[in-house]
Amino acid sequence: MDTSKKTSNVYYNREDSKKVDVSNDVWKNILSPEVYKIAREKGTERPGSSEFEYKKDVGTYYCAVCGNTLFKSDTKFESGCGWPSFYEPFSKTSIIYLPDNSYGMKRTEVQCGKCHSHLGHVFEDGPPPTGLRYCINGVVLDFEKAQEAEKKFDGKKE
Ligand SMILES: [Zn+2]
């Protein structure tokens, strides 16, 4: 496992939502090869290969390239498609949408709204309330568990 990617990535920042516009030549030296391939060359990870696919922990998913907040765990669901799936992004600016007609299919590509990295695709066969399925490569996601305090608060409600 490559654990060096975040320490050397000066563009990774969870607090700053300013757009990140960095060339692939630069990214290539910062990101691990597997993240680079998917985020910058629109690759797809092997289905079923992500540790996040069945993850149920409460927390937040960030862009592994720039730290942008992408999804909350409460919008995650098990689609059985082989990739981590969500029905709604964290905010309107989390994600941008682009038509993708590659491989003879009409799909909608989703990219990070902050650094324009490729994340995956969105399909219209998701659960309510949105009916959408954001099918995301786990390689380009960073997960952080919710604070202990939040969890205790959730527990009190039961
Ligand atoms: Zn990003």
Catalytic residue among 63, 66, 115, 135: 135
**pLDDT reading at 1 higher than 60:** no
pLDDT by residue (tens digit) across 102-122?
999 999 999 999 999 999 999
Q: For residues 92-103, give the mean pLDDT.
A: 95
**pLDDT reading at 30 higher than 90:** yes
**DSSP conformation letters of 74-94:** GGEE--SSSS-EESS-SSTTS
Residue 66: predicted pLDDT? 98
Task: Decide if 81 is catalytic.
Answer: no
Which has the minimum average pLDDT: 4-13, 77-86, 102-111?
4-13
User: What spacing in Å lies between the alpha carbon of 49 and ligand 1's midpoint?
Assistant: 21
User: What spacing in Å lies between the alpha carbon of 156 and ligand 1's midpoint?
Assistant: 35
pLDDT grade for 4, boundaries at 50, 70 and 90: very low
pLDDT by residue (tens digit) across 31-80?
999 999 999 999 999 999 999 999 999 999 999 999 999 999 999 999 99
Q: For residues 123-129, give the mean pLDDT.
A: 97
Put the strands of the sheet holding 141-145 in their side by side order.
Answer: 69-72, 59-63, 141-145
User: What spacing in Å lies between the alpha carbon of 113 and ligand 1's midpoint?
Assistant: 7
Residue 156: predicted pLDDT? 54
Structural domains of the chain sorted by starting position, each given as residue range(s) with its CATH number in brackets: 24-146 (2.170.150.20)
User: What spacing in Å lies between the alpha carbon of 91 and ligand 1's midpoint?
Assistant: 14
Q: For residues 83-104, give the mean pLDDT.
A: 96
Residue 147: predicted pLDDT? 82
User: What spacing in Å lies between the alpha carbon of 135 and ligand 1's midpoint?
Assistant: 16
